[in-house]
């Protein structure tokens, strides 16, 4: 039986108090909301924080509100179930509702939070095992070791960013609020990530993600497509977030295609956007964008399925996502 390691437990009543507790705690202290990823990781000794700062009492981090600019503001500890079922999100941001629906299972969606999904730990076939398994082959550099078993000669870790909400929110141009000892700042979702399997977040150590801001739905559409072995609860081996803003006559004025599940950070495919902008999202531009994404994407042998199959799935999955954008007009 795998058990949690010992830790101190704090339950602050406000975001400011949570940040203060984190700043005063041991360096390895961590925030926890739903805990659907963190607690299993702690049982496998992937993370062994000396203290946990629970956010379940912090009411200001929950809920969905209208934004001042016509967009939507979502508290970081709002459950995935609430996000996917919210009437305004289903009507104006259906791609986000769909992305949340595809995360794990309904039971875990009741516990898991949107902020937690954005900050999900990176994953790898070698890392995502229990302590004894990892010890038997020698620990990897992501935890307790010095070698990356995916690329043994590499000086860095290649664990994969596998959160379903991330490619979509990056494509949409969503932003997040971060609260730290020095105050609050707002950054694009894309700026949260570093291309490193170990130090995969760019936020400061004590900063708390408090809210997610969705742009006003004015003339643009977005979609999310996911590839996984089982349609029930698996992590993605490829996630595609696609976004496009259209002129009144249907011409693509701006676009973004973002790949997830193949690298340590979400990958914005500049060539795909270039293939789409200025056209009418016809078959030719869709295939050109899909080809650009295929050329750019380079999966590694660190998740389910073979490298070659995951690589080949980029082209049809991007094409299907862009087809969704065209068909949703």
pLDDT tens digit sequence for 212-239: 999 999 999 999 999 999 887 899 999 9
Could you give the CA distance from residue 94 to residue 243 in angstroms, rounded to a whole number? 12
Residue pair 178/22 in contact by the 8 Å Cβ criterion: no
pTM of the model: 0.96
Mean pLDDT of the chain: 96
CA distance 109 to 165: 13
Who contacts 306 (Cβ-Cβ below 8 Å, separation ≥6)?
Answer: none
Mean pLDDT of 74-103: 97
- Percentage above 70 pLDDT, the chain: 99
Average pLDDT of span 170-178: 98
Residue 2 confidence class, pLDDT cut points 50, 70, 90: confident
Other C-beta atoms closer than 10 Å to the C-beta of 3 total 7
What would the pLDDT profile of 249-274 be if each residue is shown by its tens digit?
999 999 999 999 999 999 999 999 99
Q: What is the pLDDT of residues 28-56, one digit of tens each?
A: 899 999 999 999 999 999 999 999 999 99
Give residue 60's pLDDT band: very low, low, confident or very high (50, 70, 90).
very high
Edge to edge, what strands does the sheet with 72-75 contain?
A: 64-66, 72-75, 208-214, 175-180, 183-188
H or E element in which residue 310 lies:
helix 307-327
Instruction: State the DSSP string of 286-301.
Output: HHHHHHHHHHH----S
Structure tokens at 162: 């596998």
Residues in the chain: 329
How far apart, in whole angstroms, are the C-alpha atoms of residue 7 and residue 214? 36
- What is the rounded average pLDDT of the residues 58-81? 96
- Percent above pLDDT 90 for the chain: 95
What's the rounded Cα separation, in Å, for the pair 295 and 302? 20
Cβ proximity of 241 and 169 under 8 Å: yes
- Where would I find the H helices in 65-196? 80-85, 87-92, 94-101, 106-111, 114-118, 131-137, 165-172
* Overall average pLDDT of the 64-81 stretch: 95
- What's the CATH class of domain 59-119+160-327? alpha beta
List, in order, residues 6 or more apart from 282 with CB less than 8 Å away: none
Q: How many CB atoms lie within 10 A of CB 291?
A: 17
The domain ranges of the chain are 59-119+160-327
The pLDDT of residue 116 is above 90: yes
């Amino acid at each position: 039986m795998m058990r949690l390691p010992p830790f101190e437990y704090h339950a602050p009543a406000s975001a400011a108090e949570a940040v203060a507790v984190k700043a005063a705690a041991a360096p390895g202290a961590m925030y926890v909301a739903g805990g659907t990823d963190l607690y299993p990781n702690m049982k496998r000794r992937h993370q062994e924080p000396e203290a946990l700062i629970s956010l379940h009492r912090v009411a200001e981090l929950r809920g969905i509100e209208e934004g001042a600019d016509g967009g939507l503001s979502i508290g970081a500890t709002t459950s995935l179930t609430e996000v996917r079922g919210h009437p305004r999100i289903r009507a104006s941001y259906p791609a986000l509702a769909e992305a949340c629906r595809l995360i794990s299972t309904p039971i875990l969606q009741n516990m898991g939070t949107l902020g937690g999904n954005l900050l999900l730990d990176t994953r790898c076939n070698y890392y995502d095992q229990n302590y004894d398994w990892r010890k038997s082959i020698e620990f990897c550099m992501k935890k307790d070791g010095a070698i990356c078993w995916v690329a043994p000669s590499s000086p860095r870790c290649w664990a994969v960013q596998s959160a379903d909400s991330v490619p979509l929110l990056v494509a949409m141009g969503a932003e997040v609020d971060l609260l730290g000892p020095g105050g609050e700042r707002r950054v694009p979702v894309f700026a949260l990530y570093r291309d490193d399997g170990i130090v995969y977040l760019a936020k400061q150590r004590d900063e708390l993600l408090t809210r997610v801001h969705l742009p006003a739905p004015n003339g643009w559409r977005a979609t999310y497509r996911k590839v996984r072995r089982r349609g029930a609860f698996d992590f993605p081996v490829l996630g595609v977030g696609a976004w496009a803003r259209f002129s009144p006559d249907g011409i693509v004025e701006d676009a973004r295609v973002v790949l997830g599940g193949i690298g340590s950070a979400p990958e914005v495919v500049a060539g795909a956007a270039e293939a789409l902008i200025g056209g009418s999202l016809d078959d030719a531009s869709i295939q050109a964008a899909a080809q650009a994404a295929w050329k750019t994407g380079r999966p590694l042998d660190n998740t389910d399925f073979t490298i070659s199959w995951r690589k080949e799935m980029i082209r049809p999955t991007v094409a299907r996502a862009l087809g969704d954008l065209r068909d949703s007009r």
